[in-house]
Amino acid sequence: MAMIRAIISDADGTLVNTVYLIRHGQYEVAVEYLIGRGIPHHDIPSYEIYESFINKAVGGSTRETFEKTIRLLFSRTHERHLDKIDFDELDKRLAPVQDRIAPLYVHPFHGLTELFTWLGSSKTSLGIFTSGDRRMIIRNFGVSLPVMGYTNLFKADETDVGERLNAFIARAKAVYGMPHLTVVTCEDVTKTKPDPEGILTLMSQMELAADEVIVLGDHAVDMQAAAAAGVPGIGISHGFGTPAELKEAGAIRVVDDIASLPRMIEAHNSGQKLLFS
């Protein structure tokens, strides 16, 4: 039986609670942009309606999420408005808004600090695969984990973002004693989830086989990417996907919080209760 040597995890909605940051940030930007393009107020959906559609669309890059959400919203009744939208321009407006509201909306999910501490004590590696970019990783984890002292690192745009990400990784490893932490973002792959490229890239960089890894994620695309990579996927129910959606997408198990992972991995590695054969 192979031992689990690493967790490969999604970031947003899985490790850090950015659910409201994503929803509110994209809605605020979309409303301002649509009004500026001359689209009548009564044709712009309420936040509650927008939220229901973004839950279906999230999973890819921020630009992909914008386009999928708005096309779903307007495709049936207001399709004529789609010709007025430049989705690249819309996406460029997002970062400043999310930067402003991140301190209010970004938090660690219950058990994140305990998980990171356990990774260090158990010498278990962590790989993060995300459809977000490097700056988002620096911002969201920096805000979530002030103990690292990098709460404002994302604002230091005069420094190359790659250098800042490397500094963040080094600090996280030092603070929590992690043996290995690797991050793969949308800037490092040609295809985002549900394509398995991000997971396969991490496994190659970390020199891990499929039976030495579990994938953790909160969205169906995370589970689909895991299945496509030949790696068991564990769904977590506190993000965007429901337990039923995660199981349908291929999750071998769905958990309610991050804190349950160390016990599950220890039980598997000791042979007491295998997660997979």
- Alpha helices, DSSP H, located in the chain: 19-36, 47-57, 62-74, 87-92, 94-105, 112-122, 134-144, 161-176, 197-206, 220-229, 243-248, 261-270
Q: What's residue 59's pLDDT?
A: 84
As a whole number of angstroms, the distance between CA 150 and CA 242 comes to 32
Q: What is the pLDDT of residues 79-114, one digit of tens each?
A: 899 999 999 999 999 999 999 999 999 999 999 999
Whole-prediction pTM:
0.92
Beta bridge partners of 107: 17
Query: pLDDT category, 36, cuts 50, 70, 90?
Result: very high
Q: What is the pLDDT of residues 198-211, one digit of tens each?
A: 999 999 999 999 99
As a whole number of angstroms, the distance between CA 234 and CA 158 comes to 38
